[in-house]
Amino acid sequence: FQGLGLEFVEASRFLGGFLGKEEVVRQLLEEKVTKWVEAVEDLSEAAVVYPQDAYVCFLKSLQCEWGYVQRVVEGAAAKLEPLDRVIQDKFLPAVFGRELQGWEKELVKVAPKSAVLVAAMKEGTMVAEEDHDDQLRRVRREMKDRWGREEDESTERLVAGLPKRARRALERVRKENVSGWLTVGPSREMGFDLPAQMFRDRLNMRHGQGLQGLPAVCDGCGEPFSLEHALCCKKGGLVKKGHDHLVDESCHLASLAYGAGVKKEPFLRDASGKVLDKDLRADFMAHSVWERQRVAFFDN
């Protein structure tokens, strides 16, 4: 073939994968893995400040690159150890804001709908090729169903061996199917741009782990403070904050309708105007709600 201007190669890229001699394909794949490792390291730095944005970039874009290569290049999954290591040692701790326990590192490898986070290191499966479109769709549907069953079985085995607190939290997440927020991109307009601490708190709650930065005691009742206490304390926890938020919103709406006569936490009085009890208060009051110039008391 001399003089024809043909270029002879031992391996080449093809449809997003590689074809050719095994040694050359391995070298090309290692170059890919090196670039992916650098990309994950850059994303890990961003995750320190913007964990939600970094996680969504990883889930929706970056991991799809090596996920595709695993499907079209036989044996590619075995070459991804450096990538797996940087994900486990740098990216996930940056997203969570803490070092993960051993069982958590295994747990985050399956899909969000299974109550965990990423599907980055799943073994690739070669896609079956069929001549007819109907057969191809049938094969893909069967493969998807099989992968779903295998993923569910794998998740159940992982969850069964977890500490009791984490197991209960993850079983509740799986049963109620409340993982949609993990796959939604951050959007300020739609209210989905979570602050870094809020995003990490939600991740830790999913794994049944304690939250970071909690006070030692409750500022309302003085009892030892915990997540469970915050959810049930009526003096200084989320119950009071949720109630106060509802009162503030009700007062705002009432002031739009009834003007300056709206007041928060008024004393309850009898018909003569005498205070009944200094500890007895309504949430707010407004004038001329039911009758003209008569005060109405409201309690949420």
Of the listed ranges 69-73, 113-117, 184-188, 260-264, the one predicted with least confidence: 113-117
pLDDT at 100: 80
Give the sign of the dihedral formed by CA 257, CA 259, CA 263, CA 266. negative
Which tops the pLDDT comparison, 118 or 293? 293
Q: Report which listed range, 5-9, 23-27, 257-261, is most confident.
A: 257-261
- Residue 33 tokens read as 């893995």
**DSSP category for residue 11:** E
* Spatial distance between the Cα atoms of 152 and 165, rounded to a whole number of angstroms: 20
CB of 72 within 8 A of CB of 217?
Answer: no
Span of 8-17, 100-109, 192-201 with lowest mean pLDDT = 8-17
Cβ atoms < 10 Å from Cβ of 282: 18
Write out pLDDT tens, residues 30-79.
Answer: 888 899 999 999 999 999 999 999 988 888 888 888 887 887 777 777 78
pTM: 0.58
What's the confidence (pLDDT) of residue 136?
A: 65
Kindly give the residue spans of alpha helices, DSSP state H, lying in the chain: 22-47, 51-57, 63-72, 81-86, 92-96, 102-107, 133-160, 164-176, 196-206, 227-232, 238-258
Q: Quick one: residue 273, left, alpha or beta (phi over 0 = left, psi -120 to 50 = alpha)?
A: left
Q: What pLDDT band is residue 115 in, cutting at 50, 70 and 90?
A: very low
Q: Which two tokens stand for residue 16?
A: 């997003």
pLDDT above 50: residue 273: yes
Q: Please, what's the b/e burial string for 100-128 (b: 16 or more CB within 10 A of its CB; e: otherwise)? A: beeebbbbbbbbbbbbbbbbbbbebeeee
DSSP 62: I
pLDDT surpassing 70 at residue 220: yes
With a cut of 70, say whether residue 114 has pLDDT above it: no
Residue 87 to residue 43: CA distance in whole angstroms: 10
Give the pLDDT score at 77: 77
**Exposed / middle / buried, residue 266 (Cβ in 10 Å: 0-12, 13-18, 19+):** middle
